[in-house]
Amino acid sequence: MATDVNFRLRHNLATLLKDRSLTAAQLSRKTGVAKQVLSDWMSGVQPRKIEHLYAVARELGVSMESLCFAPSDQDLLAKDTSSVNISAGGPPLPEDMPEKVIFSPNEIRGRFEIYMRRISDD
35 found inside a domain: yes
Which pTM was predicted?
0.63
73 found inside a domain: yes
What pLDDT, in 10s, does the model give residues 31-90?
999 999 999 999 988 888 888 999 999 999 888 888 888 888 888 887 644 444 443 444
22 found inside a domain: yes
Domain count, the chain: 1
122 found inside a domain: no
59 CB neighbour count, 10 Å cutoff: 17
86 found inside a domain: no
Distance CA(18)–CA(107), nearest Å, equals 30
90 found inside a domain: no
CATH number at residue 1: 1.10.260.40
Averaged pLDDT score across all residues of the chain: 75
> Which range is least confidently modeled, 26-30, 83-87, 100-104?
83-87
Containing domain of residue 43, as a range? 1-78+97-116
112 found inside a domain: yes
Which 3 state secondary structure label does DSSP give 26?
A: helix
85 found inside a domain: no
